Structure 1
Amino acid sequence: MMTSARIILGLALLCTLFVVTSSRDLDGSWSPWSSMATPCSKSCGGGINHRVRSCTHPVPSGAGKLCIAEDSTEKEVEWKTYDCNVQSCWANEWTEFGNCSKECGRGFRYRYAVCGNDTCKEDQYKEDSEKCNTWNKTACPSPCEEISCPEYGVCKDNSTELDPIAFCICTMGYQMNSDKTSCIRPPPTTPTPRPIPTLPAEQKVVATVISKSASTIIIIFLTITLILFFLLRIFTPDRVIQMNMEIALLLAHAVLMFPFMENETLCRVISILIHYFFTACFIFMMLEALHMYSLVAYVVKKDGMFTRLQNTLIGWGLAAFIIMFCMCFEYDNYGGEYHCWLRMDTPLLYGQFIPVVGLVIMTFTLIEAAGAAEYKPLKGVDKSQLLSARISQRTNLIILPLVFAHWMVGMMSEYEQNLPLYGTFSVLNGVTGGVVFFLHCTNNSQVRAKLTGIYKSMCKGSSAR
C-alpha cells in the first residue's frame, strides 16, 4: 500500500515539474540560411536570387520575442538577396574602334558588341563611342572653303592647332546682322549732347560786364572815325570801302550789346545779324585789298576797279547772299540754348568759317601779289591814291589779323563760357578799335594833308611866340 502511494506521489511530482517547465517564456532564434536559393533572375550579365531563414531555432514560446531581422524589425521569416550569373552575355566583347566620323575636324568613332547567349532577349547588339579629332592645320584645307559669306562679307580663317575655326566678317563699314545672315549698313550714331557750360553767378556778371565794355570800346573808336571823316567830307573810293567795313563792324558789336534772349525767334534774329555784319566786314576788307592791288599793280590809274556804289553793293549784297544760303540749310541752328552768338556745334559752323577763311586767304593773297613784283607804271597815275594804296597794303596786314582774332575769341568765349577768353576778347576789342581809328586816318591822303596843315599851323604859332 505504501509502495503504491509512493509511486503515485512520484508521478504527480513529475507531472507538476513538466507543467512548470512547459509554461516558461522563451525568445525565438534564427535558423541557418537555407542552403537552396531561388532561381537566378538572369542567366548572364548579373542577376539576383534569394535565400531564407526562419525564427524557429527555437520557436519563441510564452512571452518570448520574435527574431530581430537585419533591418532591426521583428520577423518570423527573413529573405536575403545574392548576386548570381555575373558572367558577360556578350561573345568576344567589343570590336576595335572604327575611323573618325570627320576627315578634318572633331567627330566620333564607334565600336560594337554582339550577344553570344540565347538569353539576350532584349538587346542582341550594342555600340560604344568616343570623341576623336583628325584636324591638321597644315594638311587639312581651310574651313573657309566650305563657308559662303553674304554680300560685303569675307571669310576669316582663325584656325588653331586643335580646331578649324572660320567666320564671316563684314567690310566697307558694314555690320553683321543679329542672325549672321547678311551685312547691313549701321545706323548713324547719335552723338552725345554737349553739356551746357555754365559760369558761377558772380563770374557771369563779370563776363557780361567785360564783353559789353569791350563792345562799347570798339563802338566808340569806330564812331569817332566815322564822324571825323564825315566832318571832313572825305568820300573817296578807298574811304567808302573802309567806311562800310567800319559800319559793319560797329553794327556787329551793337547787336552784341543785346542780352541773351530766351525768346527763340529773337535769339535767332540776333545770331543771323551777327553772322551777316561780321561776314560783310571781311568782304569789305577783301574789297579794300582788291582796290589797293588795282592801284599798286597799275591795273587802273585811280579810283580802283569799282565805283563807290559798286563796292557798297558788292560788299553788302555778297554778305546777304552768303547768309541767305546758310539760312536755306541751317536756319534752325541759328541762335543757341545759352547764347545768341554764332554756334560752333552744328553744321552751320561750315557756313560761318569757310566764307570768312576764304575771304582772309584772298585778302592776304592780294596783299602779297601787290608787293611781289615791280609792275610797269601807267601814265597819269594819281600819286596820292597810289601812296594811300601802298600804306593800305601794310595796314591791312595789321587790321585783318586783329579783326579775325577778336571775332574768333569772341565766338569761343560765348561758346565755352570762359572768363579768361572774355578778358582776351575785351583786350582785342580795345586794340582793334584803336588800330582801325589810327591806321584808317593816317593812310588817307586828305586826312594826312589836314593833319600836316594842323601840325604846320601849330608849329608857326609856337615860333611866332
Structure 2
Amino acid sequence: MTSLPVGRPLGLALLLTLFAATTPVDIDGAWSPWSSMATPCTKTCGGGVHLKVRSCTNPSPQGNGKLCLKMDSVSRADKEWRSFDCNMQSCWGLVWGEWGNCSVPCGKGMRTRVSMCGDDICTETMAKTQQEPCNDWNKTACPSPCDDMTCPQFGVCKDESTEKEPIAYCICTMGYEMNPDKSSCIRPPPTTPTPRPIPTLAPEQKVVATVISKSASTLIIIMVTITLALFLFLKVFTTDRVIQMNMEIALLLAHIMLILPGEATSYPAVCTTISILVHLFFTACFVFMLLEALHMYSLVAFIVKQDGMFTKLQNTLVGWGVALFVILICIAFQLDNYGGDYHCWLRMDTPLVYGQFMPIIILIVLTFALIEAAGAVNYKPLKGIDKAQLKSAKISQRTNLIIMPLVFSHWMVGILSEYEQNLPLYGTFSILNGVTGVAVFLLHSSNNEQVRAKLQGCYRSMCKGSSISR
C-alpha cells in the first residue's frame, strides 16, 4: 500500500498514486516447462518420437518485453515444439534362428545365429547375433590335420588327434631341434659336459693305496733289474735278447716314473712330463713285444736261417722310433691333456685316450696275429738253420702269449686305479705287478739258449756234486 506524502494535500496525493499504478512496465518473457502431454509416439516399440510443446508464459512478455528465445538461439516465439524419443523398448521377443554351420569344417571354430522378429530376421536396431564355440571334428571321417600342415626342412608332422579334437604338430628329425618360434629345425648347440668330480680316498686309505702301488712298482723294478743284470753278467747280447732287453728297459723306466713322489701333481710341467714318459715307455714296451714276435716268426716260418730279419741296432731304432712317433703325434694334438689334477698317469676322460689305447691295441693284435701265423702252418725248413735259435723262437712264441697279456693287464689296472682312486684296484695292480715281474724274469731267462746252457751246466754240477758227496 502506497503511503501518502506527508505535508501535501490529500487530493494531490491520490492523483499521484493512481498515475503510478497505471504506468506500463517492460518484462521479457520466459519459457514454461515442456508439456507433460505429447503427440502420439510414431512407433509402439523399437524407438519412436513424439512432440511436446512449451509456451513463453513463465512470465509472459509485458510492455516492451521480448518473446522467448528458441533453442536455435536466433529466433523468438511464444511457442516451441520439440521431438522426444519414445517407446525405446526392443520389439525382439528373445526368439533366435537356427545355428549356422561351424566356421571350421572338421575342426574347432565358431557358429552364429541371428535374432528373429516374427518369421523374418530382425533388421536395424533389433538385429542381434550370437556366437558360440563349435567342434565338427570326427577322427574317423575327417582327414588327418597333417594333410594341411607344412613342416620346415628336417621336420615331419606328428598326428596325435583324439576323439574330441584334432592335434598335430611338427617335430624335427635327424638330431635337429625346433627353434623357439617353431619356424625351422636347427642343429642343437654342443652341450658342455659336466666336469667329472675328482675321486678321493680317505687319508688313511690314500696312504695304503700309495704304499701298495709304489711297492708293486718297486717289485717289478727289482725283478726286471735282476733279469737285466743276469744277462749282462752272462754277456748275452743275441738279437732276440737285445729285443727283450729293450722291452725290459722300457718297462723298468715306466715303473720308475710311477714311483716318483705324488707331490709332482703340484707342478703341472713336471706332471705333464711324467705322463708323457709313462706313455712313451709303455708304448715302447708293446712295440718291442711285436718285434720279438716278428723275430720269432722269421725263424719259425723259416724266412731266415738265424738272427731274425733285423739287426740288433735296427730293432732298437725301430722299437724306440715307432713309440716316439706315436707320442709326438699325441703331443701335437693333445699336449694339454697329459697329466692331471690328482695324478700323473694316463688320463681316460679326454680325447687323448684314443692316442693311448688305439696304438697299443693295434700292436697287440699284430703280435697275436704273428704268433698265430707262426704256429698255424708247417713251413718247409731251411738248410743250415740255427737250431738253438729256432728252439728259442718256439719258446718265445709261448712266453709272449703270457707276458704280453700280463703287461697289458697291469697297465690297464694301473690306469684305472689312479683314475678312479679305487683301493681294490690298487691291490689288484700290486698282485699283477708281482706276477708280471716274476714272469719276465723266468720266461725271458728260460727261452735264451745261452742261459739255458748255463742253467743246465749249473744243474749238472749240482747233481754231480750231490752224487760225489754221497
TM-score normalized by structure 1?
A: 0.79
Give distance in 2, aligned partners of 1:443 and 1:213. Answer: 28
One-letter code of the match for 1:449? A
The residue aligned with 1:67 is none
1:113 aligns with 2:83: no
Shift of 1:38: 11
Secondary structure in 2 matching 1:364? helix
Give distance in 2, aligned partners of 1:293 and 1:416. Answer: 39
1:326 aligns with 2:326: no
**8 Å Cα contact 1:115/1:123 also seen in 2:** no
The residue aligned with 1:178 is 180
The residue aligned with 1:361 is 365
Runs of 4+, deviation exceeding 3 Å:
41-46, 85-88
Give distance in 2, aligned partners of 1:314 and 1:443. Answer: 23
Indicate which of 381, 388, 395 corresponds to 2:392: 388
Taking a change above 3 Å as real, the CA distance of residues 95 and 401 of structure 1, as seen in their structure-2 partners, is same
Give distance in 2, aligned partners of 1:431 and 1:305. Answer: 31
Deviations along 1:341-370, one digit per CA (max 9) or x if unpaired, are: 000111111111111111111111111111
The residue aligned with 2:450 is 446
Give distance in 1, aligned partners of 2:123 and 2:317. Answer: 112
Shift of 1:125: 1.6
Secondary structure in 2 matching 1:323? helix
The residue aligned with 1:135 is 137
The residue aligned with 2:344 is 340
Indicate which of 215, 218, 221 corresponds to 1:216: 218
> Which stretch shifts more, 280-289 or 126-135?
126-135
Give distance in 2, aligned partners of 1:387 and 1:92. Answer: 117
Percent identity between the aligned chains? 70
Deviations along 1:89-142, one digit per CA (max 9) or x if unpaired, are: 1279322222222222122222222668xxx99823211223222222233222
Secondary structure in 2 matching 1:123? helix
Equivalence map 1:10-89=2 (5 Å): 89=91
> Which stretch shifts more, 324-333 or 449-458?
449-458
The residue aligned with 1:405 is 409
One-letter code of the match for 1:132? C
The residue aligned with 2:297 is 293
Give distance in 2, aligned partners of 1:130 and 1:305. Answer: 95
Taking a change above 3 Å as real, the CA distance of residues 301 and 129 of structure 1, as seen in their structure-2 partners, is same
**8 Å Cα contact 2:97/2:116 also seen in 1:** no
**8 Å Cα contact 2:91/2:126 also seen in 1:** no
Indicate which of 275, 293, 301 corresponds to 2:279: 275
The residue aligned with 1:306 is 310
The residue aligned with 2:207 is 205
Secondary structure in 1 matching 2:131? strand
Taking a change above 3 Å as real, the CA distance of residues 392 and 38 of structure 1, as seen in their structure-2 partners, is farther
Give distance in 1, aligned partners of 2:272 and 2:123. Answer: 95
Taking a change above 3 Å as real, the CA distance of residues 181 and 461 of structure 1, as seen in their structure-2 partners, is same
Give distance in 2, aligned partners of 1:163 and 1:366. Answer: 70
Q: What are the ranges of 5 or more consecutive residues in structure 1 without an aligned counterpart?
A: 1-36, 47-84
Give distance in 2, aligned partners of 1:92 and 1:411. Answer: 89
**8 Å Cα contact 1:289/1:363 also seen in 2:** yes
Deviations along 1:26-71, one digit per CA (max 9) or x if unpaired, are: xxxxxxxxxxx999x996589xxxxxxxxxxxxxxxxxxxxxxxxx
Shift of 1:177: 0.4
Give distance in 1, aligned partners of 2:147 and 2:406. Answer: 67
Deviations along 1:399-441, one digit per CA (max 9) or x if unpaired, are: 1111111111111110111111111111111111111011111
1:379 aligns with 2:377: no
Give distance in 2, aligned partners of 1:330 and 1:101. Answer: 66
**8 Å Cα contact 2:403/2:440 also seen in 1:** yes
The residue aligned with 1:5 is none
Give distance in 1, aligned partners of 2:420 and 2:155. Answer: 44
Shift of 1:146: 2.1
Indicate which of 454, 459, 463 corresponds to 1:459: 463
Give distance in 2, aligned partners of 1:386 and 1:91. Answer: 120
RMSD: 2.5
**8 Å Cα contact 2:339/2:346 also seen in 1:** yes
Taking a change above 3 Å as real, the CA distance of residues 196 and 456 of structure 1, as seen in their structure-2 partners, is same
Shift of 1:88: 5.6
Indicate which of 167, 170, 190 corresponds to 2:169: 167
Deviations along 1:187-225, one digit per CA (max 9) or x if unpaired, are: 111222111111111111111111111111111111111
**8 Å Cα contact 1:222/1:433 also seen in 2:** yes
Taking a change above 3 Å as real, the CA distance of residues 344 and 92 of structure 1, as seen in their structure-2 partners, is closer
> Which stretch shifts more, 401-410 or 129-138?
129-138
One-letter code of the match for 1:461? G
1:422 aligns with 2:426: yes
One-letter code of the match for 1:218? I
Shift of 1:461: 2.6
One-letter code of the match for 1:310? Q
**8 Å Cα contact 1:282/1:359 also seen in 2:** yes
The residue aligned with 2:194 is 192
Number of paired residues? 389
Q: What are the ranges of 5 or more consecutive residues in structure 2 without an aligned counterpart?
A: 1-35, 48-86
Secondary structure in 2 matching 1:181? coil
Indicate which of 441, 446, 453 corresponds to 1:437: 441
Give distance in 2, aligned partners of 1:282 and 1:121. Answer: 101
Taking a change above 3 Å as real, the CA distance of residues 115 and 281 of structure 1, as seen in their structure-2 partners, is same
Shift of 1:464: 2.9
Give distance in 2, aligned partners of 1:252 and 1:348. Answer: 18
Give distance in 1, aligned partners of 2:261 and 2:140. Answer: 76
Give distance in 2, aligned partners of 1:115 and 1:250. Answer: 110
